[in-house]
Structure 1
């Protein structure tokens, strides 16, 4: 590696260490790491889109149908416009 790359890397390490000397900064970094681990956890991904509350599930299904109905209506309108 070049001298500049080593210098930039060393400066980054020093800056990171200086940032982490503050206890609140360490907590924020730990919180972000924990959140990233939770999001990338396969069990978390399995639960996406599966609301446990029945009201939420109904709302999601109604929203899905609304977009499908809108798409079908727009396709039907395009077909009628071409025929006319």
Structure 2
């Protein structure tokens, strides 16, 4: 069964490569992927994770540090009690 699986995989790869060799087909696939992932209609996803959002990154960083500082303070209080 391993040989059959490999043969089907190779045939699929060849068929995919043949289909994507035309520019028109590549554009169709890109549009379909954009629809599936929702990136076509969502401006939020387009700006997500851009380095130009330094203020947002700093806010997230500060929020993450707050929980770490709280945990560390609790640990210190426990060690002081013992």
Per the shorter chain, which TM-score range? Answer: 0.3 to 0.5
With structure 2 as the length reference, what TM-score do the two structures score?
0.44
